[in-house]
Structure 1
């Protein structure tokens, strides 16, 4: 974990450099904040923008929930010395991420100011194409490094899961065979997402939906931690399956009544687990009364 931590720190430092370099270049193109404030609609400079508090709150809930059940986050927190260190690390992460979030917001607004017709997805690339080639290359490298912070850890976790839970029980391999299988499976796991992104680019739009599904997992976990009387395996499984189905349907219907699917993912597992609690379990059969053998 110490090696992973050092690599993460290095990648994160490069990410900071890249984001701040793009923000500085964007502000130099706009002439600072004043022209943007004077010429853009007021909602670009309010806390809820043109999105609304309800949607922002839903995104906040979904992000917190998805981070809570992310494997490499749990692994990193669990590797700390004690509870105090774990709490301190979460605060450090918060103060580390906040400036990046603000910088990315400024980059997006600057891109909208300079190119009103542009899609938000291309806010960063539009500035990269106007940069000095050397600086653009360095910034691009830093952004790729930031992706490796999470992608490499997630890919490693998936490969380990597939090998330990499926390959090893089925094949009973030798250590050498297991090592070779891990390498090939890791390679496959690394290339599969690229194939999906290149051939089915719309899959990127599912990121918010998958975050909602992971939020449901967090709800079940929190209930298990803080309400142990909901200890029914049946209820937990029903909550997860029900949340997946209901949230999927709600997402496909386009969030009816303006209710974001994050709220559905938050409430559904809790409601199902409460209902399961109210349903009595299977009545345990009475043990047969022993018959005394008195002979004839």
Structure 2
């Protein structure tokens, strides 16, 4: 018990230090625009660390270890999928998004598909980000409950309240600076946890000798599941609000591309390390709930080692929540607040009410997921539901940049609304017939946009016949 409280005390010191950085950045977040954009441009490597930190929340360590407890090393695919997504993003979208000069995904949609699709995009993105927050709180609460010997619900409430205080101060600038620190601490934490876990089972050779051979097979999770992870992860990268928002902080398209590649390189090793932790936990604690795999490893450490890992987990939690908070607040501000007051971002530059709105919004979106997080049993599945929802948007983004004449604005709007209902419904039904909800999110826009394009195709055919 003493070791747990020592670890928590040292981790709290780290959190407070990050709070000081956020408070220092507060003076730069003096308008709604600066709060949501950062008010400056940043180096590509810094943005690469920022993006990596945003995607590696507590779900990345706790959720990957949970999956590896059952499936072994193939659980690392859930983060490798994001790395693959960022490689594609670097070559397909980074330059195009930067050249477009838009920092909301809904704004990108509006340029091609109109206002109705813009609002629908904003709604589905806000829903997806809130689902991510649910999984982050659920996994963070699981760790805190194990350390403090309190029930999980209480731990989640504490986590959410602290997060709400943390993220509403410095805006995008503080998110960039603190998330770089979070990324470094996360890496140190997962390395320490992996080294400790391997030492407890006798090393890698002993791990291989004692676990079934299939636990080391890259496809043990099942290739349909792995391809679903790749689809959902790639879709999330292509169309997530805070990715576009972060990319917009570099000053040219070449740096945007480099930042994306840096992110890909940082993600894969983290996934492998987290998977090894889950595999070690399956030997160390063979009869526990898989969700407790990573927290149980931490609970066995001495106070100093545990403090490093818990600080990394705290960084994971607050890094992701701050990105979600800023991303969601930006969507609410640009897509709902500004139209409601009939103003533009430039006009509200000195408007204290606009700044107050984004601060309140960023706090509110931190608190809303807490009740649902208490009832989230499988954090990895919840996370990939959020990614699946964004997959529909990713398909539409592909159309915007590479087939802008395909489909119609009405087809795009219908795709988003159907995906929101059917993808969540498919997930709640337990992914019937073994078909992951990511495939549902992929197929819906392909079918709907194809159907909406038929009248245009038929009209073109008639025109060609008449001309002949």
TM-score by length of 2: 0.55
CA contact (8 A) 1:220 1:240 kept: no
Matches within 5 A, 1:202-217: 202=377, 204=379, 205-217=381-393
Equivalent residue for 1:120, pick from 275, 290, 307: 290
CA contact (8 A) 2:236 2:388 kept: yes
Q: How far 1:156 sits from its partner (Å)? A: 1.8
Q: Distance in 2 between matches of 1:209 and 1:189?
A: 18
| 1:21 equivalenced with 2:196 (yes/no) | no
| 1:176 equivalenced with 2:371 (yes/no) | no
Cα pair distance change 1:258/1:184, threshold 3 Å: closer
Cα pair distance change 1:171/1:263, threshold 3 Å: closer
CA contact (8 A) 2:376 2:382 kept: no
Aligned CA-pair RMSD: 2.4
Q: Which has the larger radius of gyration?
A: 1
Q: Distance in 1 between matches of 2:209 and 2:410?
A: 58
Q: Distance in 1 between matches of 2:197 and 2:359?
A: 42
Equivalent residue for 1:235, pick from 411, 426, 430: 411
What do residues 206-234 of structure 1 show as CA deviations (whole Å, max 9, x unaligned)?
32222211111111111121111125111
Residue ranges of structure 1 left out of the alignment (5+ in a row): 284-296
Q: Distance in 2 between matches of 1:261 and 1:228?
A: 26
| 1:274 equivalenced with 2:274 (yes/no) | no
Q: Distance in 1 between matches of 2:371 and 2:430?
A: 27
Matches within 5 A, 1:103-114: 103-114=273-284
Equivalent residue for 1:84, pick from 244, 254, 262: 254
Cα pair distance change 1:30/1:256, threshold 3 Å: same
| 1:54 equivalenced with 2:207 (yes/no) | no
Q: Which secondary structure does the structure 2 equivalent of 1:279 belong to? A: helix
How many residues of Structure 1 are paired with residues of Structure 2 in the alignment?
Answer: 280
| 1:36 equivalenced with 2:207 (yes/no) | yes
Q: Which secondary structure does the structure 2 equivalent of 1:48 belong to? A: coil
CA contact (8 A) 1:246 1:264 kept: yes
Residue ranges of structure 2 left out of the alignment (5+ in a row): 1-37, 43-172, 343-347, 460-468
Q: Distance in 2 between matches of 1:220 and 1:44?
A: 37
Q: Distance in 2 between matches of 1:130 and 1:276?
A: 58
What do residues 230-286 of structure 1 show as CA deviations (whole Å, max 9, x unaligned)?
2511111112122233323433333333222211211221111001111359x9xxx
Q: Distance in 2 between matches of 1:139 and 1:262?
A: 32
| 1:152 equivalenced with 2:322 (yes/no) | yes
Q: Distance in 1 between matches of 2:315 and 2:227?
A: 30
Cα pair distance change 1:104/1:86, threshold 3 Å: same
Q: Distance in 1 between matches of 2:449 and 2:256?
A: 30
Task: Name the counterpart of 2:97.
Answer: none
Q: How far 1:188 sits from its partner (Å)? A: 2.1
Q: Which secondary structure does the structure 2 equivalent of 1:201 belong to? A: coil
CA contact (8 A) 2:189 2:310 kept: yes
Q: Which secondary structure does the structure 1 equivalent of 2:405 belong to? A: coil
Q: Distance in 1 between matches of 2:356 and 2:256?
A: 35
Q: Distance in 2 between matches of 1:83 and 1:275?
A: 35
Q: Distance in 2 between matches of 1:214 and 1:54?
A: 19
Q: Distance in 1 between matches of 2:253 and 2:210?
A: 49
Q: Distance in 2 between matches of 1:85 and 1:178?
A: 31
CA contact (8 A) 1:212 1:262 kept: yes
